[in-house]
A and B are shown apart, each in its own frame.
Chain A
Amino acid sequence: MHEIRSQQATEAALQNLISQVRNGYADSAPLVVGIHTGGAWVATRLCEALEWEEPATLDISLYRDDFETSGLKRSGTTNRMPQQLNGENILLIDDVLFTGRTIRAALNVLFDYGRPGAINLGILFDRGGRELPIEPTFLGESLGEEGVGRCKLVGPEPLVLMTPDSE
Chain B
Amino acid sequence: MHGPAALQLTPDGRLKHLLTTEGLPKSLITELLDTAETFLSSQGQPVKKVPLLRGKTVVNLFFENSTRTRTTFDIAAHRLSADVVTLDIRTSSASKGETLFDTLKNLEAMQADLFVVRHSAGGAPFFIADRVTPNIAVINAGDGTHAHPTQALLDLMTIRKHKGDPANLSVAIIGDLKHSRVARSLIHGLRGMGCPDIRAIGPGTLLPSDLGHLGVHTFHNIDDGLRDVDVVVLLRLQKERMTSALLPSEREFFNLYGMTESRLALAKDNAIVMHPGPINRGVEIANEVADGPQAVILDQVTNGIAIRMAVMAMTLSTQQGGHS
Contact = CB atoms under 8 A, between A and B. Distances in A.
A73 to B, nearest CB: 9
A69 B320 CA distance: 7
B81 to A, nearest CB: 10
A31 to B, nearest CB: 16
A8 interface: no
A62 B47 contact: no
B47 A112 contact: yes
A114 interface: yes
Chain A: interface size category: 20 to 34
Contact of B323 (A71, A74, A113): A71
Nearest to A84: B46
Contact of A67 (B46, B47, B52, B323): B52
Given A62-B50, A112-B46, A68 B35 contact: no
B249 interface: no
Contacts of B11: none
A79 B42 contact: yes
B31 to A, nearest CB: 8
A28 interface: no
Interface in A89-141: 108, 112-114
Contacts of B47: 112-113
A76 B320 CA distance: 21
Size category of the binding interface on chain B: 20 to 34
A74 B38 contact: yes
Given A59-B38, A76-B34, A76-B38, A71 B45 contact: no
A10 interface: no
Contacts of B323: 70-71
A49 to B, nearest CB: 28
Contacts of A70: 321-323
Given A59-B38, A67-B52, A72-B52, A79 B321 contact: no
A82 to B, nearest CB: 11
A71 B38 contact: no
Interface in B290-322: 313-314, 317-318, 320-322
Contacts of B39: 62
A99 B280 CA distance: 56
Interface in A48-75: 59, 61-64, 67-72, 74-75
Nearest to B320: A68
A143 to B, nearest CB: 28
B41 A71 contact: no
12 contacts: A63-B50, A63-B52, A67-B52, A67-B53, A68-B320, A68-B321, A71-B318, A72-B35, A72-B313, A72-B317, A78-B38, A112-B50
